[in-house]
Amino acid sequence: MNSNKQEIEVIHNSWKEGFLFKLRDRFFDRQLYNLLYSSIVKLTFDECESIDRELVRDLWFIPILFRRQKKYVRNIEQSEYDSLMEKIEDAIAGVLGHP
């Protein structure tokens, strides 16, 4: 998992001061979204490698926050918001897999 260290740091910090922090404050920052999205997409794990519990938690709650904040964020068109929400959900599914 060391090869993912930088990406994991971006994802974790996104909750503290980055995109997800701002989204909780009802502001959609496209540049920070792009940074978070690209970090998720860059994550790679071997088939039998376990994923750190903290990373799973951080990823798991991203779609939940997106859905909760949808009606409050006003600085982005709702159709674009929906599209970007779906895009990040697909990226997360690419890491965690589908049931």
Answer whether 0.85 is exceeded by the pTM.
yes
In the prediction, which pLDDT does 1 show?
45
C-beta separation of 42 from 7 below 8 A: yes
Backbone angles phi, psi at 44, to 5 degrees: -135, 140
Where do the domains of the chain lie? 2-96
pLDDT digits (tens, 9 = 90+) for 33-90: 999 999 999 999 988 889 999 999 999 999 999 999 999 999 999 999 999 999 999 9
C-beta separation of 23 from 69 below 8 A: yes
Q: Is residue 39 helix, strand or coil?
A: helix
Tokens of 49: 């490698």
In the prediction, which pLDDT does 72 show?
97
Nearest to 12 by CA among 53, 64, 68: 53
